[in-house]
Chain A
Amino acid sequence: SQQGEEDPQALSIQEGENATMNCSYKTSINNLQWYRQNSGRGLVHLILIRSNEREKHSGRLRVTLDTSKKSSSLLITASRAADTASYFCATPSGSARQLTFGSGTQLTVLP
C-alpha cells in the first residue's frame, strides 16, 4: 500500500525555475528517500534524509523533513529539461526494508 500522498500530482515549469514537491507519510520512519523515474526506466536513488535531520542538500537538490507533520519536500533549483521525470518519496519498512512509495509527482520542465 502507498505510504502517503505526494503533491502536486503534476507540475509544469519553465527551465531555470525551481520545482518543489511535497510528500506526506503515515507511520514513524527512520529515514526518507527520494527517487526519480524517467519515462520507461527504473527508479534512481537521489537523496536520503534521516529522521534526526531537518534539511539536506545534494547539488541542485534540497530535501527537508518535518517529522512532527510527517512530511518532506524536495526542491530542485535551476531546473533543466533533463529533470523532466516522476519523483517519488519512499520509506523503508518491513523486515527486509522494502520501500513503501508515495504516489509520485510528474515534473515537466519546458525548454
Chain B
Amino acid sequence: GEEVAQTPKHLVRGEGQKAKLYCAPIKGHSYVFWYQQVLKNEFKFLISFQNENVFDETGMPKERFSAKCLPNSPCSLEIQATKLEDSAVYFCASSSTGQLGQPQHFGDGTRLSIL
C-alpha cells in the first residue's frame, strides 16, 4: 500500500501478559524502523530491518522485546512479560532505501497500555 499500516490502534494488556504489534510497510520499501514514543515527546529507536534481516537492534531491550519482518507478512514487534513502563505509543516507519536523508514514512502508531 501507499501508507504504513499499523495494527491494532490500541492494545491493553495486564502486567506480565504478552503484547504483539503489527506493521505493514509501504510496498517496495526495503527498510523498516520501530520507535517508541513515551509521554508524547521522546522518541526512542528500537530496531531496524533491511527486508527480513535485522539491520540495527541497538535500541532493543534484549530480554523481553523481539521483532521480525518475514516475507509476505506484516512486520511484528512482540513484548513478553509486559511491564508498566512499556506503556507507550509504538511507531513503525519505512523508507525505500537506507541512504542518508531518505525521509521515513510513519504509521499512526499502536498505543499500548499496560495495566
Contacts and interface: CB of A to CB of B under 8 A. Distances in A.
Interface residues of B, number: 32
A40 B43 CA distance: 14
B100 A42 contact: no
Interface string B85-111: 000000101010011111111111100
A51 to B, nearest CB: 10
Interface residues of A, number: 27
B56 to A, nearest CB: 4
Given A43-B93, A86-B41, A97 B107 contact: no
A42 B107 contact: yes
A98 B48 contact: yes
Contacts of B35: 98-99
B58 interface: yes
Contact of B56 (A1, A2, A95, A101): A95
A39 to B, nearest CB: 9
B42 A103 contact: yes
B100 A99 contact: no
B98 A103 contact: no
B66 interface: no
Contacts of B102: 92, 97
A43 B35 CA distance: 11
A43 B89 CA distance: 12
B113 to A, nearest CB: 14
A45 interface: yes
B43 A101 contact: yes
Interface of B: 4, 6, 31, 33, 35, 40-45, 48, 50, 55-56, 58-59, 91, 93, 95, 98-109
10 contacts: A45-B104, A88-B43, A92-B100, A92-B102, A96-B56, A97-B95, A97-B98, A97-B99, A97-B102, A98-B56
